[in-house]
Structure 1
Amino acid sequence: MDLSKMSNDKKLHICKWYFRGGFAALPFLWAVNSIWFFKEAFCMPQYDEQKQIRKYVILSGIGAILWAIILLSWIVTFQTQRAAWGEFGDAISFIIPQGIP
């Protein structure tokens, strides 16, 4: 979709919906929102809706980074501690690696 062909109201509407969609456990939408609307929020000449778009871009970026940190922390913890958790580690595993007691 080409943002340059859209009205400013429509850009704000889409940016808002991507931001709200991120709260539905879809942090990928926050990442897309912050990247897609970055130029619109910070590089374009000033217009009325730009301040709100900038707010949603910043909040989307923060949300995507927080989700990435949480997900990476869980992955590292699970990968390094699964064997030490014993039965619980096996119960929450989809695939149990061979050769680890």
Structure 2
Amino acid sequence: MEASRSDDPNLSPNRDLSFNPILIPNPSTVSSLISAGEVWPTIDGPLGLTEEASVDYARRFYKFGFALLPWLWAVNCFYFWPVLRHPRGFPQTRKYVVRSAIGFSVFTALLSAWALTFSIGGEELFGPVWEKLVMYNVADRLGLSGLT
């Protein structure tokens, strides 16, 4: 005998979905967290890191950013966005996240200045040194292109 749609609890339009907080969170639970002023250190909210673990991760992202990986500073700022938004919460984590934001801003400004200098200035700015600075003729200079 075939089961009807109303017999199957998964297909029933009146089923209670509040038991599954990952797929569809219970609105009363979410509003109570917001009204209670509970702030989480990561963008994951209650599914993310604890406050103690977040300090360790923020410190690691900050230090590895100095190892020629400054994009980790951007990841640090993104992942710990609630720490940046709430200045009084999480002071230990905040110092690493703010330093990462400053480091990423300085890196972006320097990289942009360097790229704009080369793209706008070009040969007029650098003169005869330009041929040694550009990378598009490396194969020709080393005799690897086969065009002699």
TM-score (norm 2): 0.55
Identity of aligned residues (%): 27
- Equivalent-residue separation in structure 1 for 2:82 and 2:67 (angstroms): 25
- Deviations along 1:31-68, one digit per CA (max 9) or x if unpaired, are 1101210214544x94xxx1111111111101101100
Given candidates 56, 61, 73, the residue that maps to 1:13 is 56
**CA contact under 8 A between 1:30 and 1:60: conserved in structure 2?**
yes
Letter matched to residue 72 of structure 1:
S
- Equivalent-residue separation in structure 1 for 2:134 and 2:80 (angstroms): 38
**1:81, CA displacement in angstroms?**
2.0
User: Quick check: which one's helix share is greater?
Assistant: 1
Gaps of 5+ in 2: 1-42, 138-148
Letter matched to residue 135 of structure 2:
F
**1:2, CA displacement in angstroms?**
4.4
Letter matched to residue 88 of structure 1:
V
Superposed CA RMSD: 2.4
Q: Which of structure 1's runs of 4+ aligned residues deviate more than 4 A?
A: none
Q: Structure 1's 4 and 90: CA in aligned 2 closer, same or farther, altered over 3 A? A: farther
Pick the structure with greater CA Rg. 2
How many matched pairs? 93
The corresponding residue for 1:92 is 133
Aligned pairs for 1:46-61 within 5 A:
46=89, 50-61=90-101
- Equivalent-residue separation in structure 1 for 2:104 and 2:63 (angstroms): 13
- Equivalent-residue separation in structure 2 for 1:65 and 1:88 (angstroms): 30
Letter matched to residue 36 of structure 1:
Y
Aligned pairs for 1:41-80 within 5 A:
41-43=84-86, 46=89, 50-80=90-120
The corresponding residue for 1:36 is 79
Q: Structure 1's 60 and 83: CA in aligned 2 closer, same or farther, altered over 3 A? A: same
